[in-house]
Structure 1
Amino acid sequence: MIQDSSYFMPGNKNGVLLIHGLTGTPNEMRIIAKGLNKAGFTVYAMQLAGHCGDEADLCKTTWVDWYKSVEEAADYLAKEVDNVFVAGLSMGALLALKLAADRPNQIKGVGVYGPTFSYDGWSMPLWAKKLFFSLVILKKLNLFQKTSFIEKPPYGLKDERIRATVSASMLSGDSAAAGLAGNPFPALAEMQLLARVVKKQLPEVTTPCLIMHSGHDDIANIDTNARLVEKSVKGPTKFIVLEDSYHLITIDRQRRDVIKESVEFFEEIANTQAQVSSSTTDQRSL
C-alpha cells in the first residue's frame, strides 16, 4: 500500500520543490528541506508516483508517470510562491533538469544533487554496469521482470552511523521511511529511458544550475554524470565537488554544505529577480 509521505513547509514567496531518487522517499530530502525552510524558503518535498509502496506498486508506473507527478507538484507550489526553484537527488536530479528544460520561464534555478544517468560508481559490480544498459530490451522482451538489483553497503552513505540507521529501516520493509531495498529491473529500465530523454534535453536547460556531486560517489561516477550536466546545459553553472560524502549527499556527512550552498545559490537568484521586478515597477510608474 502506497503512503503519502510528501510534506509542505510554508515560508516566503520563494519556493523550492524537492525531488527524491528512484526507490527513495521524500525523507531523503528532509534535512535539506528543513535547512531551506529555516532560511525562509517555502518547501514542498513531493512523492514520485509509484513510490513509498512495494515493488509491485513501483513497477506499475513509468518514468512518464514520475515526471507527471513532478509537473503536478510544480503547479501546486507555483500557486503558493512567486519564484519556483527545483532540486533533486540522483534520478530526482534528472527529473529536475527535465522540468527546467520544459519550463524555462517558470523554474528560476535548479539544484542538481548527485545526478545519475549511469550506475557506474565504484561500488557497482561489473555485471551491473554492463547489464543495466540492456534493461530496456529485457523489459520489451518481458524477461527477468520479477528480478531486482539488491543494494549492498555502503548504500550511498559514508557516515557509518547514518548508514546503519537507513539500512535498518530499509531492510525492515518500511519503504515509506527509507525506500525499497531493491531496485526492480522494470523500474531501472524506465530510469534508463528517462536518462536518454534528459540527455537530449540538457542543451535546452538555460536555467542556472547548482551541481553538487561526491568525488567518491559509490553509485554514479562524477565524470560521466555531473560533468556531463556541466558541459551540456546552456545556463550558468556552479559546480561543487564534495570529498567527504558518497552518493546520498543530502543526508551524508556534508549535508550542511549542501544546505549552505543551496540557500546561497537560490537566494542570489531570488534577489536578482526582486531587483528586476522592482526596476520594472519603477519604469512603469514614470
Structure 2
Amino acid sequence: MPVLPGAEPYAHDGSDVGVLLIHGFSGNPQSMRPWGEHLAEAGFTVRVPRLPGHGTTWQEMNRTRWQDWYAVADREFRELRERCSHVFVGGLSMGGSLALAIAEEHGPRVSGLVLVNPAVKFNDWRLRLIPVLKYVMPSAAPIGSDIKKPGVTELAYERAAVHAAHSQFVAWRTVVRDLPEVTQPVLLLRSTEDHVVPAASSELILSQISSQDVTEILLHESYHVATLDNDAPRIFEESVAFIERLSSERLSS
C-alpha cells in the first residue's frame, strides 16, 4: 500500500538519550515531524514511527487494530532502549494513550512521558453505538486537522475508520485501569480549546497516575493538533527542558 507523501516515518541518531514520538488516530508522522526535528537538533536520538493503517487509506486502517499500533510503538521503544541509556516517550492524542500503555508495561525503563492532548476518554454518547454501527457504517466524519493556526493542515484521513476506532475505545479500558502503575515523570500539555478530546481525558489521567513529578501546561492558542499549531514552539521547548532536566538528574544520581 503506497504511503502518502509526508507520512513517512522519521528517525535521527543522536546522543544516548532517546525519544519516541507517537502520532494520533487517523494521523501519521507528519503531525510529529517538526517536534521530532526539534528534538534531533537538541541532540537526542529520535524515532517517529508510522503506525499500521495510518498514512495510507482509511480502508486499510479499518483492517488494523490497537494491538497492531501498540506492537509497532513497543518495538520502537525496545530498540531505543538497546541503543540509549534513557528513553522518553511522547504522544499526541491516541499516541498519548499508547505512551501510557508503554509506561504501564515497561515501568522505570521509561524515563518520562510527554503527553499532548492525550486521549483515553470521549464524552460523546454516540460512541456507545459504535459496537453496532461498525457493522453498518465502516467510516464516519473525519476528526483530523483540528488546528487554530491559519494555513496549516494535518495530513489526516478524509473519513474516520469506525472498526479501528472501536478497537481504540476498547483498549482505553485497560489503559485507564492500569493508570496507577504509571510512576514516571509526566509533562502534560493540554489545549484549552480542543474539538476532539475533552479536558476530562487529561483530568482522568492526572487523577489516576501515581507519578510524583507531574507538570501540566495549558495551551491557549492551539486546538487539538497542537504539535502543528500556534503553541508548537512551546511544546518543543518545554519537552527539551523536561528531557534535559531528567537526564541530568539521572546522570548525577
Gaps of 5+ in 1: 121-128, 167-177, 277-286
Counterpart pick for 2:27 among 19, 24, 27: 24
Secondary structure at 2:206 match in 1:
helix
Cα distance in 1 for residues equivalent to 2:127 and 2:161: 11
Match of 2:92 in 1: 89
Cα distance in 2 for residues equivalent to 1:143 and 1:196: 24
Cα distance in 2 for residues equivalent to 1:65 and 1:2: 18
Cα distance in 2 for residues equivalent to 1:5 and 1:72: 17
Counterpart pick for 1:57 among 60, 68, 73: 60
**Which runs of structure 1 show a deviation greater than 4 angstroms over 4 or more consecutive aligned residues?**
none
Secondary structure at 1:85 match in 2:
strand
Gaps of 5+ in 2: none
Q: Which aligned pairs between 1:202-281 and structure 2 lie closer than 5 A?
A: 202-222=179-199, 224-235=200-211, 236-276=213-253
Percent same amino acid among aligned pairs? 29
Secondary structure at 1:241 match in 2:
strand
CA contact 1:133–1:192 (8 Å) conserved in 2 = no
Against the structure 1 CA distance between its residues 137 and 273, is the aligned structure 2 distance closer, same or farther, given a 3 Å change threshold? farther
How many angstroms does 1:2 deviate by?
Answer: 4.4
Asked if 1:110 corresponds to 2:110, the answer is: no
Q: Which aligned pairs between 1:30-69 and structure 2 lie closer than 5 A?
A: 30-69=33-72
Q: Which moved more, 1:208-217 or 1:52-61?
A: 52-61
Match of 1:180 in 2: 157
How many angstroms does 1:188 deviate by?
Answer: 1.3
Secondary structure at 1:43 match in 2:
strand
Against the structure 1 CA distance between its residues 185 and 114, is the aligned structure 2 distance closer, same or farther, given a 3 Å change threshold? same
How many angstroms does 1:49 deviate by?
Answer: 1.6
Counterpart pick for 1:135 among 87, 108, 130: 130
How many angstroms does 1:263 deviate by?
Answer: 0.6
The number of aligned residues is 249
TM-score (norm 2): 0.93
Cα distance in 2 for residues equivalent to 1:189 and 1:28: 23
Against the structure 1 CA distance between its residues 2 and 80, is the aligned structure 2 distance closer, same or farther, given a 3 Å change threshold? farther
Cα distance in 1 for residues equivalent to 2:96 and 2:131: 21
Secondary structure at 1:133 match in 2:
helix
CA offsets 1:165-215 (integer angstroms, 9 cap, x no match): x4xxxxxxxxxxx12121111111112112212111111101111010101
CA contact 1:136–1:192 (8 Å) conserved in 2 = no
Secondary structure at 2:230 match in 1:
coil
How many angstroms does 1:7 deviate by?
Answer: 1.5
Match of 2:139 in 1: 147
Q: What is the RMSD of the two structures over their aligned residues, measured on CA atoms? A: 1.6
Cα distance in 1 for residues equivalent to 2:74 and 2:120: 20
CA contact 1:136–1:193 (8 Å) conserved in 2 = no
TM-score (norm 1): 0.83
How many angstroms does 1:148 deviate by?
Answer: 2.2
- Amino acid aligned to 2:130: L
CA contact 1:149–1:184 (8 Å) conserved in 2 = no
How many angstroms does 1:79 deviate by?
Answer: 2.3
Cα distance in 1 for residues equivalent to 2:34 and 2:75: 23
